Amino acid sequence: MSVSIIGCGWLGQALAKHLMTNKVDIIASYQSKKTHEKLIELDIPAAKLSLPLEDEVLSCQSLDDIANIDVQLFQKRVLIIAIPPQLKKGRLDYPLKIQQLIHMAELGNTAHIILLNSTAIYNGLYGRVDETSELNLSAEKVETLVDAEQAAKKFTKGLTILRLAGLVGPNRHPGKFLQVKRVFENAGAPVNLVHQVDVIHIIENLIGDDNVHIEPNIYNVVSNTDSNRQQYYQVAAESLGLPLPQFSFEQQKTTGKKIIGERLRSKLNYTYKKDDLLTWLKEASRAL
């Protein structure tokens, strides 16, 4: 088994260390000097890859023709794309980055791509939403995330798209991000979160699956935490001894969106290790 991780930040580093512990052949990419130094500290093999590359990359017919890449990144069996969408020079270039990665994976030995996307793709929707819900392309970021998935779907081998809910885990206790004077909206909206450990184990299960289908699989990755925003962030604040966050009840929407992740649980027969993140929040707080 061999894996390349494109975008080795907080999640990618934890994933790489877990897979290396299980003797998986790993290489990770980095862009910044800071990330490179962290990967060296963690003994994670790495190669530099700055995205997006020059536009001409899409017309290249061999990896050897593409400048400024280490071909090792596209010679592993599984390619995990874990780069966050970012606004650059007034435009989102996330779909272009995905398009270039897909093209290079086609030229290399990649047999299975796992794209880590976001449940922000459901922005603008309300109530219960799942992988079959019609998306609101006029909402912020949605069109960008959809374009990225469409680019990934052009890969001619195995493809899995994981739409990740908000990430929590080590060094990401939600209480640490609360600002004393911050005012939150939509107090009654459901929280849609997932713990790092579950994302890692789901990916591990996927890369160990030899029955990868050509037809793309899309899964929501989200815990079954039963809480609204007000309850969750108040518990987060109390657990760290912080002032309770303030919530605005003006123009509050009666419902937010509740991401449903039953398809993954059923298809992959996966049982979440941190399915109640209110309980995790209290336990993590006691450990601080």
Tokens at 208, concatenated? 């160990």
Residue written as tokens 């604040």?
Answer: 237
Contact (CB, 8 A) for 94 and 121: no
Check residue 74 and give its pLDDT.
Answer: 97
Rounded CA separation 70/179 (Å): 42
257 — phi, psi (to 5°)? -110, 140
Tokens at 21, concatenated? 């512990």
Check residue 16 and give its pLDDT.
Answer: 97
Task: Supply the pTM of this predicted model.
Answer: 0.93
So what CATH class is 2-169+192-224+258-273? alpha beta
Instruction: Using alpha carbons, select from 85, 276, 287, 82 the residue that is nearest to residue 191.
Output: 276
Check residue 97 and give its pLDDT.
Answer: 95
Q: Where are the domains of the chain?
A: 2-169+192-224+258-273
Rounded CA separation 136/147 (Å): 13
Contact (CB, 8 A) for 161 and 117: yes
Mean pLDDT, consecutive 10-residue stretches, the chain (288 aa), reads 95 97 96 94 96 90 93 97 73 89 97 96 95 94 94 96 94 68 77 97 88 79 93 84 75 77 96 94 69
Check residue 144 and give its pLDDT.
Answer: 93
